[in-house]
Structure 1
């Protein structure tokens, strides 16, 4: 726990580790503190294997890379990659975990993300998982600097992110932006070809979402992308976008 302040003596650590009953916990602590030197030392001295499944002090099964990504510790991620970590050996998609953990922020966000991608992290992930694009859109919805957040979205699209990909609940990226009233990210997705007729698990299109939210600007933006095909579409409940607007207390 003193590692991030540069107070750890590696020889002293080696001596203590011979009595440590849970070496994985020490490695987890080094990751969480961003103590890259300590982490690298534990790997080089074979106290821990870079790709082994670990158990956190809280009892969670994970990997060092996943722990670094979810805790936003890019220096630890970089150290693990240098030591041949399998970035995809993680309970959660690596890029998604990094985005949600705050690993790709600031002026070097794209550089850091690019390094993880070049290490083999999947741009697209199986249905039922949080796709990197969905994670990036959610982050953009909550961002104080939307322009910077949209650079992440755009980077993923340039690298081949599936515009129809969803979060772990099956909600498409366009729906996420629309539900949040995030016009700029929704427009970016639509301009890149996001399918305006795509449905969520309830059978609703993004047009349904915009109508229910009383968001006239987004409604028009989406409707222009599918002038003849979106409006007649019904949800699994049999409701069109017009029905959503009529039911909504947000429409005046």
Structure 2
């Protein structure tokens, strides 16, 4: 898991990576798909979750994209937590809670697991994002949750 990604390959992902919400909005209005991925399996939502503002992330939110894993097996909430983007972590948790019935995820948003069984708390801890860790713990994240490496 890394909050850094390779250079985007298409205009939609490029706009998301540069937090250009007006460009993202324009491309979406012209029919650009929210769920198309780059070479690392990142959707524009993954990319915007790293560096973006809530305004850009809100444009890209769909039940499908919020639980779409990249090639590392991480959801957008994992990359936001790893990057220390607390406003986006909060937004994703709120969205996932609000649309839980529409999202194919059987866990609480603050505890959803990647393909390696990492929770957002694991992601935040791995990159020293203490402010995100504090928020996730306040939301009820389990401090003793284990991943596949037994961490």
TM-score bin (small chain): 0.5 to 0.7
Aligned counterparts of 2:144 and 2:43: Cα–Cα separation in 1: 26
Output the TM-score relative to the length of structure 2: 0.68
**Closer/same/farther in 2, CA of residues 181 and 63 from structure 1, 3 Å limit:** closer
Structure 2 unmatched ranges of 5 or more = 1-6, 98-108
Matched length: 130
**Contact 2:110–2:120 (8 Å) recurs in 1:** yes
Structure 1 unmatched ranges of 5 or more = 1-59, 141-148, 205-252
Q: 1:112 is matched with which residue? A: 56
Q: 1:202 is matched with which residue? A: 149
> What's the offset of the Cα at 1:177?
2.2
Q: 1:84 is matched with which residue? A: 31
Aligned counterparts of 2:12 and 2:93: Cα–Cα separation in 1: 24
Output the TM-score relative to the length of structure 1: 0.44
Q: Which has the larger radius of gyration?
A: 1
Aligned counterparts of 2:25 and 2:147: Cα–Cα separation in 1: 36
Q: Secondary structure at the match of 2:110?
A: coil
For residues 149-203 of structure 1, give each alpha carbon's deviation from its aligned partner in whole angstroms, at most 9, with x where no partner exists: 3221111111116323356765321122233443332121122122333212311
The answer to whether structure 1 residue 138 and structure 2 residue 138 are counterparts is: no
Alignment map for 1:64-213 (pairs within 5 Å): 64-91=11-38, 92-100=42-50, 102=51, 104=52, 109-117=53-61, 122-126=65-69, 128-140=72-84, 149-160=85-96, 162-166=109-113, 170-204=117-151
> What's the offset of the Cα at 1:86?
1.0
| Higher relative contact order, structure no. (Cα contacts within 8 Å, ≥ 6 residues apart) | 2
Q: Superposition RMSD on alpha carbons, in Å?
A: 2.9
Aligned counterparts of 2:115 and 2:21: Cα–Cα separation in 1: 24
